[in-house]
Chains A and B, each alone.
Chain A
Amino acid sequence: MGKSSWFGVIAVAVLGFLCQYFALIWSPPEKTMGNLVRIMYFHVGSAWIAFLAFFVTALFAVIYLIRRNLLFDRIAVASAEIGVVFTSFTLITGSLWAKPIWNTWWTWDPRLTTTLILWFLYVGYLLLRGTIEGLERRARISGIFGIVAFADVPVIHFAVEWWRSIHPQVIDETGFNMPGTMIFTLMFAFAVFFVIYLLLLVLRTRQETQKQRMFLIRQGLQELRAKAFDDSVRGES
C-alpha cells in the first residue's frame, strides 16, 4: 500500500472514531426513543450516500450515452456497487432500529418497501451487466437501466407523503425536525460516509478500468492466436 493509501486509511479511521463519539456519546437522547435515536446517524447517513451513489450512476450513464466514453460507464458501475452496499446498510440498520421501536424487524411500509425495491433494482443492474456481451453494448443497455432505476429514489422520498406511512420524516418543508446538536452529528456522519464513498469510488473505478483493459488484452491475445494458427496452416499447405 502506498503513502497516500495509508493516509486515506488513517484519515477514515480518525473520522470514523469521531463519528462514533458524536453519535454514541456526545449527541443527546430523544424524548420517546431515548438512546435508540443514535441509530439514525448511521441509518440516514447510509441512505443518503446510497441515493447519492445511484444519482452518480444515473448521471454518468447519461454522460456515457452522450459522449460514448467507457470511463463514464466505469464510474457508473463503481458507484452502483457502492450504492448497493450502502442500501444494504440502510436496510439492516433500519431493521435493527425498527425491532425495539416498532416491535418488528420488518413491515411493508411504503418507504421500506420502495427502498427494498431500490436494492433489488441495482442488484439487478449489476447482474444484468454480467449477462451482456461487448463493452459498448453492455454500457449502453445497463446505462439505460441505471437511469430508469433511479426513478425509484424520488418515490422513496415522497413515499411518506403519498401513502400512509409509519416511517418518520427527518426533513420536511419546515426543515430538520431535530435540535442543532443532532443536526451537526447527522451532517458529520454524512460527511464521513461521503469521504468513504469517494475513496471506494476511486478504488472501484480503478479496478473496473483494469478489468476492462484485461478484457481487451485477452481479446487481442485470442485474435493473435487465431492469426498465428492461420499462418501456420497456410505455411503447411
Chain B
Amino acid sequence: MQQLGYLWGVTAVVWLGTALYIVSLMRRQHKLQQELQQVEKSLSDLRHQTGRE
C-alpha cells in the first residue's frame, strides 16, 4: 500500500499524544501525593507543637 509509513506516522501522533497526556496525568498525581505527605508532616509537627504548649 502507498504512503503507509506516512499514515502510521499520522496515527502515531494521536496514540503517542494520548500516551504523553496520560504520563503527564501520572506525574501530576505523583506530585500531588508528595504534597500530601508534606502536608501530613506539617500537620503532625503542628500537633507536636501545640501538644508541648
Contact = CB atoms under 8 A, between A and B. Distances in A.
A211 B8 CA distance: 37
Contacts of B4: 24, 35
A39 B17 contact: no
B33 to A, nearest CB: 9
A16 to B, nearest CB: 6
Interface residues of A, number: 37
Interface in A191-221: 196, 200, 203-204, 207, 210-211, 214, 217-218, 221
B46 A225 contact: yes
Contacts of A34: 2-3
A38 B13 CA distance: 14
Interface residues of B, number: 30
Nearest to B13: A92
B32 interface: yes
Interface centre among B10, B29, B43 (most CB of A within 10 A): B10
B7 A39 contact: yes
B39 A46 contact: no
Contacts of B22: 200, 203
Contacts of A96: 6, 9-10, 13
A214 B32 contact: yes
Nearest to A199: B22
B11 A36 contact: no
Contacts of A228: 46, 49-50, 53
B42 A221 contact: yes
A231 interface: yes
B32 A211 contact: yes
A30 to B, nearest CB: 12
Nearest to B40: A217
A85 B17 CA distance: 8
Contacts of A196: 18
Given A39-B7, A228-B49, 6 more contacts: A23-B11, A85-B21, A89-B17, A93-B14, A214-B36, A228-B46
Interface of B: 1-4, 6-11, 13-15, 17-18, 21-22, 25, 28-29, 32, 35-36, 39, 42-43, 46, 49-50, 53
24 contacts: A16-B15, A36-B7, A39-B7, A42-B13, A46-B14, A85-B18, A88-B17, A89-B13, A92-B13, A93-B10, A93-B14, A96-B6, A97-B10, A100-B6, A196-B18, A200-B21, A200-B25, A207-B29, A207-B32, A210-B32, A214-B36, A228-B49, A228-B50, A235-B53
